[in-house]
Amino acid sequence: MTPKTIAVAGATGLVGQQILAVLDERNYPIKSLRLLASARSKGKTIQFRGETLQVEELTESSFKGVEVALFSAGGGTSKQFSPCAASDGCVVVDNSSAWRMDPKVPLVVPEVNPGAIQTHEGIIANPNCSTIQMVVVLKPLHDAAKITRVVVSTYQAVSGAGVAALDELRAQTRAILAGENPVCDIFPHPIAFNCLPQIPQSDAFIENGYSTEEMKMVNETKKIMGDDSIRVTATTVRVPVFTGHSESVNVETERKLTANEARTILGQAPGLVVEDDPASQMYPLASRAAGRSETFVGRIREDLSHDRALDMWIVSDNLLKGAALNAVQIAEHL
Ligand code: 25A
Ligand code: L14
């Protein structure tokens, strides 16, 4: 691959920082790198491959000469700036929810639907973190036995909500242990020592009773898998974990899969590690998945209440495979 001119929009955020780390770790060939963020961060310096780079304010003219832009600066910023970047000939890989369900925009997990990348018209969307780690597991099962329905509950880490949310979890934990009242700025209720069945933290719920995070899992799963017939229902829950989303997933198939068959299929699938030895207390854990690239699956068992269904536990680093790594993998395919 010839070295490219790259921009990272939202470079100072949690995801932006991980994008820089992943570009470096995977030796992505870079001719030059521009770091973009809001006016608030203008002039901050960030080290990359031994060089000191200055953060610039993201404007409409930031993308002249840029070949690939990795965006992680929120939906509003992406709606405003991705089209100008694309019209300057740049390919945008966007981490926000702004473009994901646009029929002209491919929504890509490279292990699942790499072919969709080629159909882009300047913008490629990176899916929601909880959806990405789930479809990496669903795809090989769907190919083997055709999935008809998925029921998922998530246990999502606080880092998904950004730097300030991580600070709030730390401060609330200290307060509660000291016998003081926890202060809530980001989350509507204390997240320390609690579970909140609401993601995101504001404007979460829509008329049908679902949260927008839950609907992302429903809609994005069908689009990435390329199969609208798969029925999906989700309950998404924030838990007091710093990094690593966990998911309890029930998968119904047209053809019966035994737990052993599923383990064999998943053991050969790209991007996955089967950690499934309950006798030795081996199963996926957020604490072990944090900082790792792979998605981990375990507790695979046949559903006692159904003839053709499996239960399983899926865990991955929400900032890596859930965001930065998946975006860089898409950029590598370009
Ligand atoms: O839900 P949406 O709309 O689709 O948005 C997705 C959002 O979720 C994150 C990512 O946030 C994104 O903004 N995200 C995306 N995919 C994710 C995933 N899979 C995901 N998170 C988890 N998992 P983020 O926190 O990673 O980064 C935000 C970055 O965007 C920059 N930014 C914001 N507005 C911008 C902009 N850049 C350009 N133009 C704009 N208009 C933002 O830069 C950050 O890099 P920054 O300079 O605004 O912030 C730098 C530092 O400032 C602190 N800070 C944040 N908010 C405030 C603040 N300080 C004071 N007041 C504030 N209100 C932070 O500490 C930050 O580090
Ligand atoms: O749609 O854990 O990518 O708050 C990423 C962060 C959804 C919410 C997305 C979180 C967002 C998620």
Model confidence pLDDT, tens digit, residues 66-115:
999 999 999 999 999 999 999 999 999 999 999 999 999 999 999 999 99
Model confidence pLDDT, tens digit, residues 117-148:
999 999 999 999 999 999 999 999 999 999 99
Q: Which of 135, 36, 71, 49 is nearest to 327 (CA)?
A: 71
Locate all alpha helices (DSSP H) within 146-254, ordered by sequence: 163-177, 212-225
pLDDT bin (cut points 50, 70, 90) of residue 1 is confident
Among residues 90, 120, 142, 245, the one annotated as catalytic is: 245
Q: Is beta strand 295-302 parallel, antiparallel or unpaired with respect to 272-274?
A: parallel
Structure tokens at 32: 């030059």
Mean pLDDT on 186-194: 98
User: How many other CB atoms are found less than 10 A from the CB of residue 321?
Assistant: 24
245 given a catalytic annotation = yes
Ligand 1 atom 4: the closest Cα is on which residue? Answer: 96
Residue 18 has pLDDT above 90, yes or no: yes
Nearest atom in ligand 2 to the alpha carbon of residue 200 is 4
pLDDT at 74: 96
Model confidence pLDDT, tens digit, residues 274-322:
999 999 999 999 999 999 999 999 999 999 999 999 999 999 999 999 9
Give the three-class secondary structure for 210.
Answer: coil
Ordered structural domains, the chain, with CATH: 4-127+324-333 (3.40.50.720), 131-318 (3.30.360.10)
Q: How far apart are CA 323 and CA 56, in angstroms?
A: 22
Ligand 1 atom 65: the closest Cα is on which residue? Answer: 163
Q: How far apart are CA 30 and CA 301, in angstroms?
A: 45
pLDDT bin (cut points 50, 70, 90) of residue 238 is very high
pLDDT at 38: 98
Ligand 1: which residues within 6 Å by Cβ? 10-16, 37-38, 40-41, 58, 72-75, 77, 95-97, 129, 160, 162-163, 318-319, 322-323
Which residues are within 8 A (CB) of 48 and not within 5 positions of it... i.e. 6 or more apart? 20, 24, 33, 35
pLDDT at 208: 98
Among residues 90, 120, 129, 142, the one annotated as catalytic is: 129
Mean pLDDT on 3-28: 98
Mean pLDDT on 255-280: 98
Which residues are within 8 A (CB) of 227 and not within 5 positions of it... i.e. 6 or more apart? 142
